[in-house]
């Protein structure tokens, strides 16, 4: 099937209306145009119609010269919607106006359009000297009727973003937040001389503007600023807080968590809870953090997480939007590749593409790469993995093999809870964008049981680097490489030396408590090895092996590992234990699965542990 474009693409290229393009299609003046449902599809290489309005020529050649640039890293709505290729998300405004919740929280992974959407809200609602309706007159929201257009440009807006508040100390964080509020105060400089505000309020405003405020005064900034704007304009403002949880994550990682939680609680309580100077409030972030009591008593808060249907199509790109984008840039034939690499997310019931990666894919001449991996820091994941047990290692490594599993998901997971209960890592990985939901079942307490998997090829590669290789804190890369060489060459003497070194240097004696620990230790180590799919506790032959490494390349052998552990073993006892583990592999025919798949060479390792001692038998 030839590459095609939509009516709107042809209209934009030929500088005529979409209605005219549709009419030309109906009149048979556009060769190869085919109607699909209610829309027309036009071959990209078709000659332009000679109807006195456009000249002849080929679309693809002209498109390369005339196409709008891609909005890589652009989060300014005015700029993105007027000078770049912009996917229209303005119907999100209509959905909000239809319900008008007092305070809305949207949680999505990083780089999924949160800041751009919030800037769209600001541009639409904000009362300014400029006629900002020009940025919406050609968008979907403008066709919805006067009811919705009447909201445009009617409210003062406070817009705060915490996306760059990433500092090592609380003192630096406070200074950065002062700067954020100072810049926002400068946007409302009319308050400095407002006849509606009293001298006390103006003095507080001057202090905020200059950054001459203490923590207590700063925590009241939203309340004070909203009160002054209400007085001056006669309309209560809208408050938008973008990436509210960035300072919270940073505070947790850098040990000033209690300080930032107390500050945020007071800030949001003043600005969003029972504030008569508030029309509406919007917040975005990755985590809900509701149980932190940041939003304590905030009974007017409506939460929209990755599991909710409302607003599900507005963060990220839908399949139709990506198809249209591919047609616009003349590469409709690359759609399947886009699906393989960047599709697979599911927000509510909507399939979603990673917008950051899709834009970068088109911008980089349609070369698929892991564009998303360098967009943010998730140091907390390494801390979680350090606490992981055997079951977590098994599940994390199974995902790389394309498998899924069902787990409890709490979209309100909090940072201390993640470390104290490592199984909540799945909730964090889901909201952070490393997992997708295949199936959702409500649980008894209002949360969910979800079947989860990796979304796409990009995340499989990113996941291996950002998640599994966090194990480097335990296993340095040079040792991991040496272990790989020893395992795949059958050199059990060298393997024993390396594992012994790791146990001696990296593992606390208090951690060596039983087979579960050693299983997790070995499974984590195997996860770093390339060229094989790692699986654990699976049926094969007459039993269930502990660990299997199934080669993905024909020149590598298969690996089977059976583990045993006992306390206070002598060297002779440890040797017999390793031989017992090896015999179990042979007797139970654990190699059945791999030999049936045509893998001719399978190394079998019986590994026995006692404290920090290890013994290995091989065949």
Is residue 309 in a domain?
Answer: no
Residue 235 CB neighbours (<10 A): 14
Name the percent of the chain lying above pLDDT 70: 82
Helices (H) and strands (E) in the chain, counts: 26, 20
* 571 and 452 housed in the same domain: no
pLDDT, mean over the chain: 84
Q: What is the pLDDT of residue 419?
A: 65
pLDDT in tens, 265-303: 999 999 998 899 999 999 999 877 554 567 766 777 898
Q: Tell me what the mean pLDDT of segment 404-433 comes to.
A: 79
> Element (H or E) spanning 106, and its range?
strand 103-107
Joined together, the tokens standing for residue 612 give 């920090």
Beta bridge partners of 606: 562, 617
3-state secondary structure of 570: coil
How far apart are the C-alpha atoms of 345 and 112, rounded to whole Å? 11
* 224 and 101 housed in the same domain: yes
Question: Distance from first CA to last CA of the chain, Å, rounded?
Answer: 55
Joined together, the tokens standing for residue 167 give 């500092």
How do strand 547-551 and strand 558-565 relate by DSSP bridges?
antiparallel
* 25 and 92 housed in the same domain: no
* 397 and 352 housed in the same domain: no
Is residue 312 in a domain?
Answer: no
Query: Token match 């919030």: residue?
Result: 118
> Element (H or E) spanning 5, and its range?
strand 4-6
Is residue 238 in a domain?
Answer: yes
Q: How many domains does the chain have?
A: 5
How far apart are the C-alpha atoms of 468 and 465, rounded to whole Å? 6
Is residue 72 in a domain?
Answer: no
pLDDT in tens, 518-551: 766 776 677 666 667 777 777 888 888 888 888 8
Is residue 404 in a domain?
Answer: yes
Q: What is the pLDDT of residue 243?
A: 94
DSSP 119-169: HHHHHHHB--SS-GGGGTTTSGGGGG-HHHHTTTT-B-EEEEE-TT---SS
* 275 and 359 housed in the same domain: no
Q: Is the pLDDT of residue 378 over 90?
A: no
pLDDT in tens, 79-92: 999 999 999 999 99
Q: What is the pLDDT of residue 291?
A: 47
**Domain range enclosing 486:** 474-618
Joined together, the tokens standing for residue 183 give 């810049």
* 123 and 234 housed in the same domain: yes
Is residue 311 in a domain?
Answer: no
Q: Is 150 exposed, middle or buried (0-12, 13-18, 19+ CB in 10 A)?
A: exposed
* 104 and 216 housed in the same domain: yes
3-state secondary structure of 606: strand
Joined together, the tokens standing for residue 447 give 């949360």
* 541 and 575 housed in the same domain: yes
Q: What is the pLDDT of residue 240?
A: 98
Q: What is the pLDDT of residue 239?
A: 98
Query: What is the pTM assigned to this prediction?
Result: 0.72
* 244 and 202 housed in the same domain: yes
Beta bridge partners of 347: 350
Residue 34 CB neighbours (<10 A): 14
Is residue 310 in a domain?
Answer: no
| Domain end position, chosen among 272, 304, 336 | 304
Q: Tell me what the mean pLDDT of segment 359-364 comes to.
A: 93
Whole-angstrom CA distances from 219 to 27, 158, 188, 223, 266 are 65, 15, 19, 9, 6
Q: What is the pLDDT of residue 462?
A: 74
Contact assessment for residue 232 and residue 224, using Cβ atoms and an 8 Å cutoff: no
Is residue 71 in a domain?
Answer: no
| Domain end position, chosen among 66, 92, 112 | 66
How do strand 280-285 and strand 103-107 relate by DSSP bridges?
parallel
Q: Tell me what the mean pLDDT of segment 53-63 comes to.
A: 40
| Domain end position, chosen among 416, 448, 470 | 470
* 292 and 339 housed in the same domain: no
* 444 and 484 housed in the same domain: no
* 238 and 333 housed in the same domain: no
Contact assessment for residue 107 and residue 303, using Cβ atoms and an 8 Å cutoff: yes
């Amino acid at each position: 099937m030839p590459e095609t474009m939509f009516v709107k693409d042809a209209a934009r290229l030929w500088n005529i209306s979409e209605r005219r393009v549709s009419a030309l299609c109906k009149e048979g003046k556009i060769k190869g145009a085919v109607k699909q449902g209610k829309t027309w599809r036009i071959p990209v290489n078709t000659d332009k119609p000679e109807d006195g309005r456009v000249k002849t020529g080929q679309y693809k050649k002209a498109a390369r010269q005339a196409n709008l640039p891609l909005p890589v890293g652009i989060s300014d709505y005015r700029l993105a919607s007027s000078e770049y290729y912009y996917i229209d998300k303005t119907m999100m405004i209509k959905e909000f106006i239809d319900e008008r919740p007092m305070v809305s929280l949207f949680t999505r992974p990083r780089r999924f359009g949160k800041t751009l959407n919030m800037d769209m809200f600001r541009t639409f609602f904000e009362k300014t000297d400029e006629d900002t309706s020009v940025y919406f007159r050609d968008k979907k929201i403008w066709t919805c009727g006067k009811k919705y257009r009447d909201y445009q440009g009617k409210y003062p807006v406070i817009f705060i973003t915490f996306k760059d508040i990433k500092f090592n100390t609380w003192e630096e964080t406070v200074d950065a937040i002062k700067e954020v509020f100072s810049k926002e105060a400068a946007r409302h400089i009319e308050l400095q001389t407002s006849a509606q505000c009293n001298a006390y309020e103006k003095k507080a405003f001057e202090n905020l503007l200059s950054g001459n405020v203490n923590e207590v005064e700063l925590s009241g900034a939203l309340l004070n600023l909203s009160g002054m704007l209400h007085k001056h304009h006669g309309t209560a403002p809208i408050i938008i807080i973008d990436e509210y949880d960035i300072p919270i994550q940073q505070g947790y990682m850098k040990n000033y968590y209690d300080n930032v939680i107390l500050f945020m609680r007071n800030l949001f309580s003043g600005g969003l809870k029972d504030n008569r100077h508030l029309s509406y409030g919007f917040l975005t972030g990755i985590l809900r953090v509701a149980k932190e009591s940041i939003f304590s008593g905030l009974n007017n808060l409506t939460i929209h997480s990755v599991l909710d249907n409302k607003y599900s199509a507005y963060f990220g790109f839908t399949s139709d939007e990506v198809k249209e984008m591919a047609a616009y840039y003349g590469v409709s034939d690359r759609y399947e590749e886009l699906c393989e690499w960047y599709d697979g997310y599911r927000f509510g019931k909507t399939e979603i593409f990673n917008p950051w990666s899709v834009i970068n894919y088109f911008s980089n001449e349609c070369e698929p790469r892991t564009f998303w991996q360098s967009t943010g820091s998730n140091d907390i994941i390494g801390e979680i993995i350090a606490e992981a047990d055997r079951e977590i290692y098994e599940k994390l490594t199974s995902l790389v093999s394309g498998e899924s599993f069902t787990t409890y998901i709490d979209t309100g997971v909090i940072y201390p809870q993640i470390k104290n209960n490592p199984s909540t890592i799945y909730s964090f990985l889901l909201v952070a964008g490393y997992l997708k939901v295949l199936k959702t079942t409500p649980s008894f307490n209002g949360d969910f049981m979800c079947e989860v998997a990796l979304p796409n090829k990009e995340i499989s590669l990113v996941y291996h680097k950002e998640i599994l290789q966090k194990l480097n804190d335990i296993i340095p890369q040079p040792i991991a490489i040496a272990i790989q060489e020893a395992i795949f060459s059958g050199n059990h003497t060298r393997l024993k030396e390396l594992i012994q070194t790791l146990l001696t240097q990296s593992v606390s004696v208090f951690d060596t408590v039983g087979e579960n620990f050693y299983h997790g230790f070995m499974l984590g180590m195997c996860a770093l090895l390339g060229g094989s799919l790692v699986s654990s506790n699976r049926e094969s032959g007459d039993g269930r092996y502990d660990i299997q490494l199934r080669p993905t390349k024909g020149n590598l052998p298969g690996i089977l590992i059976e583990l045993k552990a006992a306390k206070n073993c002598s060297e002779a006892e440890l040797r017999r234990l390793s031989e017992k583990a090896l015999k179990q592999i042979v007797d139970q025919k654990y190699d059945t699965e791999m030999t049936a798949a045509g893998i001719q060479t399978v190394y079998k390792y019986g590994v026995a542990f006692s404290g920090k001692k290890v013994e290995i038998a091989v065949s």
